[in-house]
Amino acid sequence: MRDIHFSINPNRNAKQQALDVIRQLKQSNNIPIQQAQMRVQLTISAKDAKKFKEKMNKLSTMPNIENEEFLGSSMQLICSIDPGVFRELDDLLRSETRGQGQLELLSLMDVAEGDEALNDLNEEKTDD
């Protein structure tokens, strides 16, 4: 927080200040910060699938498609998305499939755990 010259204001909401710090840290690129990805499963009729995928790729942040499978007359997509895109993706699914599509949340956090990245970052800071 010193690197971005952020000082805590005891009269402001802690949650709002935390969100401000995270946003500023992302912009400064001192510490690589990313939101945890959500894994979701989309079920769409096969006839709507092509048009839906084209529009899905135009979202603000493009989902990372992990698996695409055709099951009879429907297509099933498993992908990782940013939590901020969830509502946008749900609205797109509802409008394109006229309420016939299905969006399921598989997991809230899809994070690769490990200490290696933090240690590497710490070593880079001490080398400067």
23 and 42 co-located in one domain? no
Residue at 56 is within a domain = yes
Residue at 120 is within a domain = no
Tens digit of each residue's pLDDT (9 = 90 or more) over 71-103: 888 889 898 888 888 898 889 889 888 888 888
Q: pTM above the 0.75 mark?
A: no
Residue 123 scores a pLDDT above 70? no
d(CA 75, CA 71): 6
Considering its fold, how many domains does the chain have in total?
2
The per-residue pLDDT for 41 is 92
Amino acid code (one letter) for 39: R
19 and 62 co-located in one domain? no
- Residues spanned by the domain of 20: 1-32
64 and 91 co-located in one domain? yes
**Which structure tokens are listed for 6?**
């952020």
CATH number for the domain harbouring residue 82: 3.30.70.240
Residues 6+ apart with CB under 8 A from 70: 46, 76
Residue at 53 is within a domain = yes
The per-residue pLDDT for 121 is 54
The per-residue pLDDT for 27 is 81
105 and 69 co-located in one domain? yes
Segment 3-26 mean pLDDT: 84
